[in-house]
Amino acid sequence: MAAADAVAAGQSSGAAVRIEGLTKQFGRSKAVDDVSLDIDPGSFFTLLGPSGSGKTTTLMMVAGFVHPTAGEIFVGGRPVAGLPPQERQLGMVFQNYAVFPHLTVFQNIAFPLEVRRTPGADIRRRVGEMLELVRLSGYEQRLPRQLSGGEQQRVALARALVFRPRVLLMDEPLAALDKNLRTHMQGELKQIQQRLHVTVVYVTHDQEEALTMSDRLAVMNQGRVVQVGTPGELYEAPASLFAARFLGESSFIAGTVVDAGDGSAARMRTGAGVELSGRAASPLRVGQAVLAGIRPEKFLVDGAPAAGMNHSPGRVTGAVYAGDTTRYTVDIGAGEAVTVKLQNQMRARTRAAGDAMALSWHPAETVLFPAEAAAHGG
Amino acid sequence: MAADGAGAAAPIVGTTPDQIAEARDRRRHLLLLAPPAILLVFIFVYPVLGLLGQSVYKDGITLRFYQRLFAEPVYLDVLWLTFRTAATVTLLCLVLGYPLAYVLVGLPARLQRLLLIVVVLPFFVSLIVRTYAWMVLLGRLGLVNELLRKLSLIAEPLPLLYSTTGALIGMTYALLPFMVLTAFSVMKGIDGGLVRAAHSLGAGRWQAFRKIFLPLSMPGIAGGMILVFIMSLGFFITPRLMGGPSDLMIAMLIEHEVELTLNWPFASALAAVLLLVTLVGFFAYSRLVRLERMFEGTR
Ligand SMILES: Nc1ncnc2c1ncn2[C@@H]1O[C@H](COP(=O)(O)OP(=O)(O)OP(=O)(O)O)[C@@H](O)[C@H]1O
Ligand SMILES: [Mg+2]
């Protein structure tokens, strides 16, 4: 990718973005409530959350289209909350592309350079590089209505990058594309971001997209940041019931704390009388009602009982074959069921409803959440 | 005819039963147009043809009414004056109407609806009544002159009424809503996200307006201007009541020929020329409005 290298050479690397106590109130409700984030320069950072959780509002405050009720935003150490959008020098890709319908592809991409009064020869060269980068060379004279959705999206991306912003903001840029094209564009986006070392702040409600593309991500709920971390941290160690439910799949077993441990390791007893060890998501006390969350792929079946593992007998009540894996619903007594996902390897014995299935799993892969959080957390 | 068409089309390569059915549907749809078409023939085409016939017939076919129209300078002068007045009114409507529509589009929905009602409210009152109201305001002892005199801005009352100024004020007032509504409807269709995108790409307010909003609102400007222009060409009551003796519009001339001179053929010739000019205007209008479609996603 010669074009990318040429562009990268002219690109100052990404800027750090810091958000402090950012709040936006619409009438009496807070769309964004005291959000603070530290985004490393050159990293891919994602805001993930359900509809209405305040992702767009947060991004729009960074872009300058929504005025914060409180809080400050720093880009490269400089406070920008008081600046209008055009003075923030941030690239932005909108969900509906917002490609100018009366301008050709070339004119669209040249737009940011023209408003900056860049000389014509430079404009031609840099637009050419961008077209090559997003693989639209030869489309210069087309109007947006002659382009497919994916092509329009790439024009929007090239246009947002051509003036070499140090931060690129994207609000669900791929949501309108079909599944195949979306996967393809995810790869291209990530590749371009790594080439240009631009800081990306990305909004999505697609958890798979967030997990595969981000260096770090923030899970938002009801205007607040619930948890920030790498995809691995968020998936393996969700800090709240909401994060565990929203990102990936979990089974939850209800019980009460029998040993609060040293703050992180705790023991609980399930309704069926089985004792489990796990990591406490937040400090627990003995007798407290808790839910133990376990990802479906963490279960081992029919192994020899190993010391230090959690164990539970179980009985298969349902099996769904999904090609590479089979998902079993397993009754573990006292009316509780867990989902177990097993690879369909040669050795794996297929089980039918009614078969017994002894489960074991590691305490490090068991997270204990206070149960009362369920009421308002998820 | 219908059966013939389908029968002849069938053997042609590439003509599928679907296409034949489609053609039949199209003919059926055309049938729906029949009642209004018949009505139009009676109340519009027939009188217009009669008018055209009258303009070339008096004791045998003759072009002498057209000859007179083009030979005597006064008629061409009136035609020219009509054009000039229409053009001035159009420009005034643009200068006043475009910013008004622009402000309207930016308002919150409730206020916008309210002000739109204010814009169309005058249509509920007869134009004659509204014109008389203006005359009360603009007369030598009218509100405007009195106010200016009280403020010592003028010593003598301004000739606001019975003058070209009066005609222009009255016509601009009467036609402004058409400009505002046409421009507004086009502006309303412009995606606000585009202007925001322009800002995010570094464009200031003026640049975003000039490079994005203005070109996208062009169909509204063009449409509104042509609409106002065509309507002012035929304006009659307002210039007659509010204009001066020299503000003779072609429509007033026609009325004069019909009512006083009783020279129907000549009035018909004048009307035919006005009709021709108006038709040219409409043609230009339809061409420009097609521009609008260029900006849409599909064609
Ligand atoms: N201009 C506004 N006026 C009033 N309320 C608003 C406004 N914009 C957003 N909100 C509210 O703020 C909350 C957050 O909205 P926001 O658009 O940021 O959500 P989001 O996380 O981007 O959701 P989605 O995934 O559906 O795009 C919502 O409850 C929304 O109704
Ligand atoms: Mg959103």
**How far apart, in Å, are the Cα atoms of A109 and each of A219, A320, A361?**
33, 49, 54
A91, A102, A116: residue with CB nearest B295: A102
Q: What's the gap in Å between the CA of B191 and the closest CA on chain A?
A: 8
Report the range out of A117-131, B12-26, B213-227 with the highest average pLDDT: A117-131
Range(s) for CATH 2.40.50.140 in chain A?
250-376
Query: Residue B242 phi/psi, 5° resolution?
Result: -105, -20
Read off the pLDDT of residues A201-248 as tens digits, 9 standing for 90 and up: 999 988 889 999 999 999 999 999 999 999 999 999 999 999 999 988
Question: Distance, CA A171 to ligand 2 centroid (Å)?
Answer: 7
Q: Report pLDDT for A295.
A: 94
The answer to whether B201 contacts A89, with C-beta atoms less than 8 Å apart, is no
Pair type for strands A44-48 and A199-204 = parallel
pLDDT of residue A322: 86
Cα B196 to averaged position of ligand 1 atoms, centre (Å): 17
- Write down the mean pLDDT value for chain A: 89
Token pair of B196 as six digits = 């925001």
For A333, left (φ over 0), alpha (ψ -120 to 50), or beta? Answer: left
- The ipTM is 0.80
Length of chain B: 299
Q: Which atom of ligand 1 is nearest to the CA of A56?
A: 22
Token duo for residue B136:
């009360």
Measuring CA to CA, which residue among A262, A263, A358 is closest to residue A309? A358
Tell me the two tokens of residue B74: 């006064």
Assign B179 a pLDDT band (cuts: 50, 70, 90). very high
Calculate what percentage of chain A has a pLDDT beyond 90: 65
For chain B, the average pLDDT equals: 85
* pLDDT score of B9: 41
Beta bridge partners of A331: A315, A337
Q: What distance in angstroms lies between residue B196's CA and the mean position of ligand 2's atoms? A: 16
Contact B204 A102 (CB under 8 A): no
For residue B96, count other CB atoms closer than 10 A to its CB. 15
Residue A154 in contact with residue A105, Cβ under 8 Å? no
**Ligand 1 closest atom vs CA A58:** 18
Q: Which atom of ligand 1 is nearest to the CA of A223?
A: 14
A312 strand-pairing partners: A359
Extents of the domains making up chain B = 79-297
Q: Residue written as tokens 């005025």? A: A67
Q: What is the pLDDT of residue A202?
A: 97
Place of tokens 């204009």: B243
For residue A231, the tally of other CB atoms under 10 A from its CB is: 20
pLDDT for A1: 47
What span, in angstroms and rounded, lies between the C-alpha atoms of A218 and A243?
A: 10
- Cβ neighbours of B298 in A, within 8 Å: 145
Structure tokens at A62: 């960074």
Q: Token digits for B225?
A: 């201007």
How many Cβ atoms are within 10 Å of A369's Cβ, its own excluded?
28
Surface-to-core class of residue A25, CB atoms within 10 Å of its CB (0-12 exposed, 13-18 middle, 19+ buried): middle
The CATH class of the A3-236 domain is alpha beta
**Bridge partner residues of A328 (DSSP):** A319, A340
Stretch (H or E) spanning B69: helix B64-71
Residue whose entry in the numeric block shows the structure tokens 């002012």: B232
Residue B5: is its pLDDT beyond 60?
no
Mean pLDDT value of segment A332-342: 90
Residue A76 Ramachandran class (φ > 0 left, ψ -120 to 50 alpha, else beta): left
The 10s digit of each residue's pLDDT in A292-323 is 999 999 999 877 777 888 989 899 999 998 88
- Distance, in Å, from the CA atom of A18 to the CA atom of B265, rounded to the nearest integer, reads 82
Helix residue ranges, H only, B141-188: 143-150, 164-188
What global pTM score does this model have?
0.80
Chain A neighbors of B221, CB-CB under 8 A: none
pLDDT at B293 exceeding the cut of 90: no
Q: Residue A159: its chain B contacts at CB < 8 A? A: 201
pLDDT reading at A7 higher than 60: no
Size of interface A-B (CB pairs under 8 A): 71
Query: Looking up tokens 């010593």, which residue turns up?
Result: B155
- Mean per-residue pLDDT, B141-169: 89
Q: In DSSP terms, which residues pair with A70 in a beta bridge? A: A23
Contact B95, B87 (CB under 8 A): no
Q: Where in chain A is the domain with CATH 3.40.50.300?
A: 3-236
CATH 3.40.50.1100 fits domain A250-376: no
CATH class of the domain comprising B79-297: mainly alpha
Residue A44 to residue B144: CA distance in whole angstroms:
65
Q: What is the pLDDT of residue A376?
A: 45
Query: Taking 70 as the threshold, does the pLDDT of residue B218 lie above it?
Result: yes
DSSP string, A320-362: EE-SSEEEEEEE-STT-EEEEEEE--TTPPP--TT-B--EEE-
- Percentage with pLDDT > 90 across chain B: 33
The residue-averaged pLDDT of A332-350 equals: 83
Q: What pLDDT score does B237 carry? A: 86
Q: What are the tens digits of pLDDT across the range B72-101?
A: 898 889 988 998 999 999 999 999 999 999
Q: Do B201 and A160 touch (CB under 8 A)?
A: yes
pLDDT digits (tens, 9 = 90+) for B96-128: 999 999 999 999 999 999 999 999 998 888 888
